[in-house]
Chains A and B, each alone.
Chain A
Amino acid sequence: QVQLVESGGGVVQPGRSLRLSCAASGFTFSTYGMHWVRQAPGKGLEWVAVISYDGSDKYYTDSVKGRFTISRDNSKNTLYLQTNSLRTEDTAVYYCARDQQWLVSGNDHWGQGTLVIVSS
């Protein structure tokens, strides 16, 4: 069965960096686009970024452009989110999610999330 397992979250000071990972199994990872979606405590879902199946296309929400980088290693079935220059407003649970059909058909599988807390 499809499994997505995020890791790498934690408590970090403003301005610092974290690399989030998402280990995928149960499907052919290299044939699917992948997303990061975040949810601040008590708030709604916010789309963060997407990467195409081969890593050639990447798109970001405006608030993270220039600070976050989405990437993938298909040989390791792993998705990444490098988060730099973190701000308190980046505090959230970060979910990785599989793209059902490039950006148009929603996310059919989600991980359990990893919590990032940005605080001094």
Chain B
Amino acid sequence: QSALTQPASVSGSPGQSITISCTGTSSDIEDYNYVSWYQQHPGKAPKLMIFEVSNRPSGVSHRFSGSKSANTASLTISGLQAEDEADYYCSSYTINTTPYVVFGGGTKLTVL
């Protein structure tokens, strides 16, 4: 049950766009369109931002978008705002002998 791979940190200035990558394997991201992304502010619970690769839950800003190519999923945040500064985690459905969920190690987004 290996974790997905994310960059430890990314940064951008207000108004810019950034992309966070999430690399998995043929057993998870490549095989299934079941990638989710979460935002977590310090001391708070995670918040679902994207599900099934590119779907936004109700209430999530259109500035957040998701995509996937082969074994790598990506979260793009456009028009960066100060409140976007947070940790971001990807996750994917996967299956070995039984189904389970695997998370990425997390990416700290700093808005400069």
Chain A residues within 8 Å of B, Cβ to Cβ: 35, 37, 44-47, 50, 59-62, 95, 97, 100, 103-108, 110-113
Contact = CB atoms under 8 A, between A and B. Distances in A.
B51 A47 contact: no
Contacts, number: 70
Chain A interface helix/strand/loop/mixed: strand
Contacts of B34: 103-105
B46 A62 contact: no
Given A45-B40, A100-B48, 19 more contacts: A37-B46, A44-B103, A44-B105, A45-B89, A45-B103, A47-B91, A47-B100, A59-B100, A61-B1, A62-B1, A95-B46, A104-B34, A104-B93, A106-B36, A106-B51, A106-B52, A108-B51, A108-B57, A112-B45
Contact of B106 (A44, A97, A113): A44
Nearest to A50: B101
B106 A45 contact: yes
B106 A59 contact: no
15 contacts: A37-B46, A37-B103, A44-B87, A44-B103, A45-B91, A46-B103, A47-B100, A59-B99, A60-B100, A103-B34, A103-B101, A105-B34, A106-B50, A107-B38, A107-B48
Chain B interface helix/strand/loop/mixed: strand
A35 B100 CA distance: 11
Contact of A111 (B45, B100, B104): B45
Interface string B33-53: 010101010000111101110
Contacts of A107: 36, 38, 46, 48
Contact of B45 (A47, A106, A110): A110
A47 B3 CA distance: 10
Contacts of B91: 45, 47, 106
